[in-house]
Structure 1
């Protein structure tokens, strides 16, 4: 009896021993900074002097700050349009999941945007949009249209940056779906073919259910990418013109680093974290419900 109890305890303890280093790193570099950031949001602090406890005043100031609402609205636009990366990535993955001559070279071309830096993507698209010598202006000239200053127009700038962000994000979701397509059950596909399934019926009833894990990951990373968008905004417009392209991540950086309002920046970070938490918790709950 004692021997069986010892074996049972060791079987339970071994997985935790293997996970202990990763859990320790996660605690120190993820959980602890989150707690510190939330705690800092209740203080007024310039990053140098003493902290002054002010309670929820930073959140009250956020509520009455029009730049916060502009940044939040831009994040909502990012979230809505960034979700296009999931169906686009799936469509490209289905197109590339073929055994034809030269398909590997084509895959590498679609994969290329994912491996380059977001800052490089921002610089490339800034050149592309440039009203003086950008390729976009040459394309518009073919149709008789005049120069279109995308990054200088308050109504267009956010959509222009989102389009730049979609380029590498579609490549990332494509990779996830290609991995899922390589792990499809050939028995299920063959059985469906014998039953006469093909085309849209095959895709909807046989392939997509098997791609559910890849779809879940693609949606989660796309949501996180949309909500923490920073690199492209910083490299393309620095939040301009007149703050019209700012998002919460860049607004947080601007307030904390340039305006020396660490507590205010921490409050923005806390709001952004809570938004991410709600979305991710919702999709986790949906996935668990479907599994049950």
Structure 2
């Protein structure tokens, strides 16, 4: 077969399959990057967790030794407990974002100014958020203690008290997370069917009944994204803890991601294998929640057909 005939055959094959092949050509770079920078490191972390390794010398195979050590590690359970607290309280950002979005979806005077004020926390860095709340909680000149001092209370050293420190950092994290959920719901509200709203009004629905039975069901895609992003944010909460307390006091504000950093790259002697085992546990927790929401979303879509 001549070269011209081969070229014609190849060209005709692409023309016949152009609609099916072209999207994959555009997706290929993203898929390759995702496999190389996300999927491959996941399996690499799982592999490293079976070794005792300082990152420089030859790794030593210890099997499940790192996971056995985790089982007896009190610091691990403190971090896990704090992660669960983060997870539960962080979800408050979702209904808060929804109600702020409902307020900002109104057509009233000055609404653009209100939108800018509520949008502001989303665009600033988490480092800046951490610094602002550190000053806010300061027991000597912080606004929190100035405020409660009006009522004869305080001072309270929020970041220095092991009873309050985790809740203080979570409050700092909820502020920008609420803004993110608000943006998702504002986008979702633009897609709400006005005909359904009018039909519900004719049937006498208003207030909470309108919100729960008509508006919220149409916001399911936005709610799904808000849940996934919020859960991931709660489980990988590192930057605020690093800025505000560095895990203190007495390690009581640690979460799994921060503890992983400590044992792998900080004061505990570069224990890469042990840090990887913590990362695997964190990944499995995250995978469980995301798989649950994906399954719920699939069931809802399947039931709606």
Q: Do these two structures clear the TM 0.5 threshold for a shared fold by scoring above it?
A: yes
1:102 equivalent among 88, 107, 110? 110
Partner of 2:283: 273
Gaps of 5+ in 1: none
Q: What are the residue-to-residue correspondences of 1:77-96 with 2, within 5 Å?
A: 77-96=85-104
Q: 1:12 Cα shift?
A: 2.5
CA distance in 1 between counterparts of 2:23 and 2:64 reads 42
CA distance in 2 between counterparts of 1:256 and 1:143 reads 46
CA distance in 2 between counterparts of 1:20 and 1:136 reads 51
Q: 1:6 Cα shift?
A: 7.4
Q: 1:123 Cα shift?
A: 0.8
Question: CA offsets per residue over residues 226-258 of structure 1, 9 Å max, x none?
Answer: 000000000000000010000000000011111
1:74 equivalent among 65, 68, 82? 82
- State the TM-score, normalized to the length of structure 1: 0.96
Q: What are the residue-to-residue correspondences of 1:121-270 with 2, within 5 Å?
A: 121-258=129-266, 259=268, 260-270=270-280
2:69 equivalent among 61, 67, 76? 61
CA distance in 1 between counterparts of 2:274 and 2:213 reads 49
Partner of 2:40: 32
RMSD, aligned α-carbons: 1.6
Q: 1:83 Cα shift?
A: 0.5
Gaps of 5+ in 2: 1-11
CA distance in 2 between counterparts of 1:7 and 1:194 reads 54
Question: CA offsets per residue over residues 145-165 of structure 1, 9 Å max, x none?
Answer: 120011111111000000010
Partner of 1:114: 122
Q: 1:15 Cα shift?
A: 2.2
**Larger Cα-atom Rg:** 2
Q: 1:92 Cα shift?
A: 0.5
Q: 1:7 Cα shift?
A: 6.5
CA distance in 2 between counterparts of 1:35 and 1:189 reads 48
CA distance in 2 between counterparts of 1:14 and 1:193 reads 47
CA distance in 2 between counterparts of 1:189 and 1:8 reads 46
Q: 1:132 Cα shift?
A: 0.7
- State the TM-score, normalized to the length of structure 2: 0.92
Question: CA offsets per residue over residues 168-225 of structure 1, 9 Å max, x none?
Answer: 0000000000000111112222222222222112111111111000000001100000
Q: 1:48 Cα shift?
A: 1.3
